[in-house]
Amino acid sequence: MTQIRIVALIGFLSIVVGLTAFAPWSDIVPLSIRSWATETGVKTLTRLPPLPQISLWSRFMRERSEVLREIVDVKLSTYPDKPSTSYRVGKYRTTGLFSSFEPREEQVKRVAPHYDLFLLTGFRGNLMRLIKKVNPSAKALLYMSSSLTSVATMIDAGSVDEENTEWILKNQPDWLLKDSDGRPIQGTSWSPKYWPDPANKQWQAFFVRKVNKALRESGGLWDGVLLDEFLTTRTSHSASYAGSAGTQAKYTSDGAFQRAQLEFLRNVAPGLHVPIIPNVESLVLNPTSEAFKPDFFTEVQRIAGGAEAEIFGLHAPNRHGFLEKEMLKVYLDRANKTPSGKIMLLNSPTAGLEGNIERTLYVYFSYLLVAGPERQIYWTFKEGDSSIPHFWFKEFDLDLGPPHGTMQTAGPLWKRDFANAAVLVNPNREAAAFTSKEAYFDVLGEPVRGPISLGPNSGVLLIKNRRIIPAGESKN
């Protein structure tokens, strides 16, 4: 979660430096952002409004936080006045809200009623009092990273107080993983990045002390800790998403490193004031990977308070990013095997800031295959910048009714029935058809006739009870 500071600059040379500093905005706020509202072939209740056009001059003259709050206003215009938390099937989690800017109070109040679970950094812990005032049933996770960075504020165990990452490098270098030459492996995110040895007992005790201190000093209203970057192989530290830190020399097999990670959880979980939820690297859930070991994921859930599985349905926010059917099936299987009383978090990168109806509904329908009001399986999706709330889809609020059993196969398709609807998902790379004698309606209230054709990587809600369609939306 990168924090970006925008500094007002004066003079020609300052302008040149300023434009260079704004380069990352090309990934965050495109100059021209188009809406997908009129470009989807999916019948949907949702319309995504276009985001504000951000000129180059506006980028230079205005603070980044001001522009982001303006984008948030557009996103929040899709949120309904009344939440559906009392009757909906799904449970929804935020991404790391407001990590890079301070929201307005009314924006927090607008977001608060609609989510079951919030993810925030420690320096935004002050928002939880307001969130829980508006939504007393809301739960919150404190973000913590497994790695250690040199420039951070309460987002890892080395950024809680003066015993920080630099202090560890100077006084406790044996806590860190090292390469074959005995040097700490070092990567880069927004600062130099180091990796502790999960089996080091002194590091484990330090981690517990610092995380508990962070929980207290950031408001004390937390229900858990989300531990990001919970890696799963001996070479994972060298991956680009881990900061390209190089190869550690201590653990010579994936199994040895995984055993150390599990030992870390067994030793730290009892000492923390709240449950810990590791964000488990997806390699163990990928059937095509040599590291494929889905039982490791479930063991993490069992030892800890649960686990997060990112890239659910999509590994990238584009038309080439769909997971293969077999990998998506593994995610759904692990969700169904989540131990009683434990949490599973599913996270999907669906689009950039502009949103995407087709991809988002596809992963939402896939989530419905395992969702249930009695289960702690939470879903979220990311639209570009995780600190900005995503668009809200009207389909999220439909009263589907209680689920009737678990996911079933319907030829090459997956199907799950609810009292008021059925969800149908095509996880394949080719089109498929579904035929049924049961009478259905689409989400606009129109009768569904004949075989239902689903394109590759798509899904559909089949309505049984037309009364669940919001007033004014039904065509009949």
pLDDT by residue (tens digit) across 281-336? 999 999 999 999 999 999 999 999 999 999 999 999 998 999 999 999 999 999 99
Q: What is the pLDDT of residue 86?
A: 95
Average pLDDT, the chain: 89
Stretch 30-57: mean pLDDT: 63
Please give the distance of CA 156 from its chain centroid, rounded to a whole number.
Answer: 18
> What letter represents residue 243's amino acid?
G
Domains and CATH numbers, the chain: 85-397 (3.20.20.70), 409-468 (2.60.40.1180)
Buried b (16+ CB within 10 A) or exposed e, 121-148: bbbbbebbeebbeebeebbbbbbbbbbb
The pLDDT of residue 476 is 57
Q: How far apart are CA 418 and CA 365, in angstroms?
A: 13
Lowest mean pLDDT among 45-54, 113-122, 219-228, 345-354: 45-54
Distance, CA of 56 to CA of 110 (rounded, Å): 30
**69-78 average pLDDT score:** 96
Read off the pLDDT band of 397 (50, 70, 90): very high
Largest CA-CA distance found in the chain, in angstroms, rounded: 73
pTM of the full predicted structure?
A: 0.90
Among residues 343, 415, 325, which one has the least CA distance to residue 379? 343
**Cα gap 274→284, rounded to integer Å:** 26
